[in-house]
Amino acid sequence: MDKKAMFAISYGLFVVTAAEQGKHNGCITNTVMQVTADPNRISVAVNKSNHTCGMIERTGRFTANIISQAATFELFKRFGFQSGRDVNKFEGFSGAWAGECGMIVFEGTNAWIAAEVERTVDLGTHLLFIGKVLDMETLNDTPSATYAYYQEHIKPKPRAAEGGGEGKTVWRCRICGYEYTGEEIPEDFICPICKHPASDFEKVP
């Protein structure tokens, strides 16, 4: 089985936000899609380890902010590489205002869609939320950033693998570019930068 076939699927990128008791949080996902048109519904799968996941589960509301090609790597670091359990991801961020279903991010995005959860499916590692669209708005006409666009144009280019040669094996995180040196990468390894698992690392040739 060729696991790389999964990379042939194209994805968008989103800041999914939620609000609970006046506290705001959000995380980066590539899993938002429209699932029905009438009624208009979207779905999003969120990893249970994300603080945002529990907030959506408890409040039944979320906003999907669609990331555009104007987004900087800073946006991904702010919402993707740290946890809302430890920090307020919106601190010092001027690119958002409070919406009824979570923060509306207008910096590095081109539209937002707010939804009310109708159904939640437990998928083990993730919860899949299916929500009815309550409100939405187009902010500008900058094209949406696909996951491929992020890899090609937004994520910093990794430096040449240090200690390559010399028989050392380097593994690079496909998500953020972090490099791990070692013959095999431990199965339970978690990227210290973006928190993705060992399966998201590839051997640097």
- Give me the residues that bind Fe ion (CB under 5 A), please: 173, 175-176, 178, 191, 193-194
In terms of CB distance, is 103 or 194 closer to Fe ion?
A: 194
In terms of CB distance, is 161 or 193 closer to Fe ion?
A: 193
Distance in angstroms (rounded) separating the CA atoms of residues 55 and 57: 5
In terms of CB distance, is 77 or 132 closer to Fe ion?
A: 77
Distance in angstroms (rounded) separating the CA atoms of residues 113 and 177: 30
Distance in angstroms (rounded) separating the CA atoms of residues 96 and 83: 18
For residue 88, give both structure tokens.
Answer: 């307020």
- To the nearest whole angstrom, how small is the minimum distance from the Cβ of residue 173 to Fe ion? 3
In terms of CB distance, is 132 or 155 closer to Fe ion?
A: 155
Q: Are 110 and 74 in contact (CB under 8 A)?
A: no
- To the nearest whole angstrom, how small is the minimum distance from the Cβ of residue 3 to Fe ion? 18
- To the nearest whole angstrom, how small is the minimum distance from the Cβ of residue 199 to Fe ion? 12
- To the nearest whole angstrom, how small is the minimum distance from the Cβ of residue 122 to Fe ion? 26
Distance in angstroms (rounded) separating the CA atoms of residues 66 and 118: 21
Distance in angstroms (rounded) separating the CA atoms of residues 49 and 126: 8
